[in-house]
A and B are shown apart, each in its own frame.
Chain A
Amino acid sequence: MNFIAGFFQRVRVQRRKRQLEADMTEEIRLHLEQRTEEHRRSGLSPEEARFAALRQFGGVDQVKEVCRDQRSWAWLEQMAQHVRVSIRLFAKTPGFTLTALATLALCLGANLTIFAVVDSILIRPLPFPDSGRLVTLYYVYPKLPSATSGASLTNYYERRGKIPALASLAEVTFGTTVAGEPGATTIEGLGRITSEFFATLGVKPFLGRAFTDAEMTYQSDHEAMISFEYWQSRYAGDPAVLGRSIRIDGIARTIVGVLPRDFRFLASAPPIYMPLSSEEGERNIGARHSVGKILFGRLAEGATRAEAQAQIDALDAVLAPLFPDAKVVADAGCRTVVASLHDDAVTAVRPVLLLLQAAAIFLLLIGGINLTNLLLIRASGRAREVGIRQALGASRGHVIRETLTETILLTVLGAFLGLGVGAGGIRLLAALGAKQLPLGTPIALDGRVAMVALLVAVVAGVAFGLPIVWLNLRHRLAVALQSESRGSTAARATQHLRHGFIVAQIALAFILLTGAGLLGLSLKRAMAVSPGFTAEQVVAGQFNLTWFGYHDASTFGGFFDRLLERSRSLPGVSAFGVVSNVPAGGPRDGDAVTVPGYRPKPGESVSVHDVYAVAGDYFATMEIPLLAGRRLRAGDSEGPLVCVVDEAFARHYWPNGDAVGKSLYRGTQIDKDDRPFTIVGVVGSVKQGGLGEGLARGAVYFPYSRIFFRNFYLVARTSLAAESIGPMLRGLLRGVDPDMPLTDLRPMDARIDDSLATRRSPALLAAVFALTALLLAIIGLYGVMAYSVSQRSSEFGIRMALGAQRRDVLRLVFGEGLRLTLIGLSIGVFAALLLTDTMSSQLFEVQARDPRAFVGIGLLLAGVASIACLLPAFRATRIDPVVALRAE
């Protein structure tokens, strides 16, 4: 029957429901009358005839109930009925209802929050058409001591059009630029892209056009594209923006296109795009391993990633021997990886997200067990009622449906509240740094997540209902009706079930607490690491030297001379310096160096080190200790080539000797004309990548004039507050160059702090989950023990009447609780030993089976559990035997 007809049928049925009910009763009555009449005629007494008719017929009420079920839509009526009854029951026990809903809202909310993140990052495809075909290609050098990977401009020009499996190829690099009119410049994010960047992604500009191949040189790159948001905020959405001029790094360029709304490439959404212009020297074979860009392509129709990989490998095999330092590259194990763009973007965050999702699921399990326990206790109290109803004709199906309606109603209500908690949780995540995640789409609780929530709620409702169904159906009617449930086998079975739940809860809580504890320990270790400098009272801000204004040694030198000269008159600043990258300052400049006379150990490849340009009193400002020799000074920008190295570098090349006075060359290729740098000093190593960083890779500091970097940070040691030092430093820079903005001005300790966000946020979330889990588990343990004491009060009364001392009763109850806790702990330790290994990658200087974490968490859990058992145990000792036995 189709739906509309069914609906009208239902309306009619509703209207005629009474009529039908009366009809049915009448019909059965007449049937029995007829049969009674027949039996009487065969000679039975009226009484006997009536009983014979009834025997022949069976249970009248049961038959009626089955008849009612035969009507279509009967289930809907029944469900509405069940829902009404459930709501009435919930309203009657507000304490239970609120506890259950709060537990559900909390546990489901935590899961939804994390799931929304997992969904938007790991599950949803990137927001580009047919994005599964997007692949990224990059070199890896597995044998280098420090992980290095990336693609070069040369890769792009050598491979474009040569790989049949790739329909198109594009390259991109992200940085910053100074944009705006003189006097009103700002530093903005900049994407530099090749011509097919948008075509490869399958994205069309909202207005205008993308760049062309002809625009990829410094002589011809007069164009720019802007993001939709920048267009709205700076140009008020002016439709005539195309053709207008925009000053980028001091050069006027023409806006040729506007991007679609919300366009982002993985984690990057810069407002300005320019051609990835280059000159011959940056594209040729010598620059092949200057890797620092993102190369990606779209697989051709029908082509697979394996085919692309094979074709790239074949091309690499031809090209590799032509590289001047082919042996160095080969020793480093260099090869090209072709990976899915999406997978590659989320590789770093996948383990931590899955870890948090697992923690949230554990929390849900513990909360679910609590709820099941509560529901079971409630159901035990109603066992008699259910037994009577079954005796009066309620079928098994009816009882099952009624129970499941109740639990599903509860979990679905909980899921709606959980959505509210989840919405709050997502806001909290934003505060914890979720924006730094490589988002495909923004994190949001949308219909999709809500559907998952509803689905989980229904599944959870069934899961919570099953033990109660089991309890209800297990109760033998006679037993339920004749005796109190105490002492009956069903009561004993449910008690075993409750004890099993307690064991499971303790075990789950232990695993969760151990995981959180290990993360916390890692965070503590990372925070205890000395950064290698004194971050307090140092502020740092970023500025760019544009190519337009500063393209030769004299303009460079003039700028720094004037800057350092003026800095001396800054009040309240005790030391001032400039560096190309501060610790925890983001992407770092790496370069290989050649140390004459150094013989690599067997199997060792060329090393990449951090390379810095410095000016002024950088080391003094940061209080980086001088270990040997001298620091760089003003005169070093001219005259003999000198540099300073850090301790890790010195120890790598001269494990036993003194590095001062030794020499090194930049790069791996040394021409006849190249002159070496003389090392004049050794300074302490700093944690360039932030506190969580592992091995230091060695650093070389050059005078600013020897290495043409364009991005710099000025650093000042000052006791002044940030509000007063900020304008002073901005004024200093504008005083030297009115077009030069200072951005990202922040205290160094805040930067160091932020570098721990990737550790702190997961550790914090895991701690919140774990403590909530601990609380729930303890409440569960307490609840079961207290319930068991109240159930057994007459037993304790008898024991005491027969001579048991109070401490015997105490030992009995407390011992039982402790036994459950210890079983749970043993299982938890065993499971944790198996599980924590999976989180090794997230730990810092902490073993996955750190005995202190295991023992500490075990003691904590055992201690709290003891308290939860002691309270009911004490209550048991205060039972008055006389009162307890009278209550029978």
Chain B
Amino acid sequence: MPKIDLLQGTLDMLILRVLSGGELHGWGIADRIQILSKSVLSVGEGSLYPALYRLQDQGWIESEWGASDNNRKAKFYRLTRAGRKQLEVERENWLRLTGAIAAIMEAS
């Protein structure tokens, strides 16, 4: 199955969604997106970090150094309260957008 590149601006939402399940480090986020999307979506791993820095700057996520499962040093990201709210907003927008597009595409 061919992989699909992410739509512009959706990466932030996906990161927020993945982090809503608990704190996670950079490569973990990339892995999780791939697993959850059943390997349809490919995330350029490099592009993940600017997004993380952006979200952090906006105060939607925060980070802390810690140890990973295999006892490696890693930086863990988690959602802040503002981030949770933002996720709701983006989820709603997304549903409205996809609903609207679907309506157009399926109209005869």
Interface residues, chain A, CB within 8 Å of chain B?
A: 23-24, 26-28, 30-31, 33-35, 56-60, 62-63, 66-67, 69-72
Contact A67–B53 (Cβ < 8 Å)? yes
Query: Which B residue sits closest to A64, measured CB to CB?
Result: B49
Q: How many A-B residue pairs have CB under 8 A?
A: 49
Partner of A34, one of B27, B44, B47: B27
Which 4 residue pairs spanning A and B have beta carbons closest together? A58-B46, A70-B53, A63-B46, A70-B54
Give the interface size class of chain B: 10 to 19
- The reply on B81 being an interface residue by CB < 8 A is no
Which of A31, A56, A63, A69 has most chain B Cβ within 10 Å? A31
Using Cβ atoms and an 8 Å threshold, which residues of chain B touch A31? 26-27, 45
A67 to B51, CA, bound (A): 8
Contact A30–B74 (Cβ < 8 Å)? yes
Interface string of B9-34 (1 = CB under 8 A from A): 00000000000000000110000000
Partner of A57, one of B45, B73, B74, B75: B45
- The reply on B5 being an interface residue by CB < 8 A is no
Contact A23–B50 (Cβ < 8 Å)? no
Contact B45–A58 (Cβ < 8 Å)? yes
Using Cβ atoms and an 8 Å threshold, which residues of chain B touch A67? 49-50, 53
Using Cβ atoms and an 8 Å threshold, which residues of chain B touch A35? 27, 45
Partner of A28, one of B44, B49, B73: B49
Using Cβ atoms and an 8 Å threshold, which residues of chain B touch A69? 50
Contact A59–B57 (Cβ < 8 Å)? no
Using Cβ atoms and an 8 Å threshold, which residues of chain B touch A58? 44-47
Contact B73–A30 (Cβ < 8 Å)? yes
Query: Which B residue sits closest to A63, measured CB to CB?
Result: B46
A30 to B65, CA, bound (A): 12
**Further 4 A-B residue pairs, CB within 8 A, beyond A70-B54, A71-B53:** A27-B75, A30-B74, A63-B49, A67-B49
Interface string of B51-79 (1 = CB under 8 A from A): 00110010000000000100011110000
A66 to B47, CA, bound (A): 9
Using Cβ atoms and an 8 Å threshold, which residues of chain B touch A60? 46
Query: Which A residue sits closest to B59, measured CB to CB?
Result: A1
Contact B46–A59 (Cβ < 8 Å)? yes
Query: Which B residue sits closest to A59, measured CB to CB?
Result: B46
A57 to B72, CA, bound (A): 19
Using Cβ atoms and an 8 Å threshold, which residues of chain A touch B68? 34
Query: Which B residue sits closest to A62, measured CB to CB?
Result: B46
Using Cβ atoms and an 8 Å threshold, which residues of chain B touch A28? 49
Contact B57–A56 (Cβ < 8 Å)? no
Known contacts A23-B75, A57-B45, A60-B46; A71/B57 CB under 8 A: yes
Using Cβ atoms and an 8 Å threshold, which residues of chain B touch A71? 53, 57
Using Cβ atoms and an 8 Å threshold, which residues of chain B touch A24? 49, 53
A60 to B47, CA, bound (A): 10
Using Cβ atoms and an 8 Å threshold, which residues of chain A touch B49? 24, 27-28, 63, 67
Q: What are 30 A-B residue pairs whose CB atoms fall within 8 Å in the complex?
A: A23-B75, A24-B49, A24-B53, A27-B26, A28-B49, A30-B74, A31-B26, A31-B27, A34-B27, A34-B68, A34-B72, A34-B74, A35-B27, A35-B45, A57-B46, A58-B44, A58-B45, A59-B46, A60-B46, A63-B46, A63-B47, A63-B50, A66-B47, A66-B50, A67-B49, A67-B50, A67-B53, A70-B50, A70-B54, A70-B57
